[in-house]
């Protein structure tokens, strides 16, 4: 069954902006929560996970870029990885690098 978000994450109203991603449980540092963006045919496409992450100047997560040499149309992907302990109820945030804020 397809699940657009990891089981440890939910979407709800955000104090940062609109709606955001929140931890449903404690998440350890270095946890890879999945792909947020893909580069396909020179266009960057957001995944459901990437569509709800909000910006912070003091983020608790980061986007790690990976090159995907085996797939012809997908050249790169970015994964959401936690930088620190995330408590249940904490909003997950990153420093935006693709969009102007």
pLDDT in tens, the chain (101 residues): 677 889 999 999 998 899 999 999 999 999 999 999 888 888 888 998 999 999 999 999 999 887 766 656 777 889 999 999 999 999 999 997 765 54
Which positions ≥6 away from 98 have C-beta within 8 Å?
37, 44
Neighbours of 11 (CB within 10 A): 15
Instruction: Name the token pair of 19.
Output: 């709606």
For residues 11 and 20, is the Cβ–Cβ distance under 8 A? yes
The residue ranges of every structural domain in the chain are: 9-83
What is the structure's pLDDT at 39?
A: 85
């Amino acid at each position: 069954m397809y699940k657009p978000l990891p089981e440890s994450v939910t979407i709800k109203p955000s104090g940062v902006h609109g709606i955001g991603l929140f931890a449903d449980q404690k998440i350890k540092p270095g946890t890879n929560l999945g792909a947020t963006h893909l580069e396909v045919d020179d266009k960057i496409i957001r995944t459901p996970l990437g569509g709800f992450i909000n910006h912070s100047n003091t983020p608790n997560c980061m986007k790690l870029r990976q090159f995907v040499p085996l797939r012809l149309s997908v050249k790169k992907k970015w994964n959401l990885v936690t930088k620190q302990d995330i408590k249940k109820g904490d909003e997950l945030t990153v420093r935006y690098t693709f969009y102007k804020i």
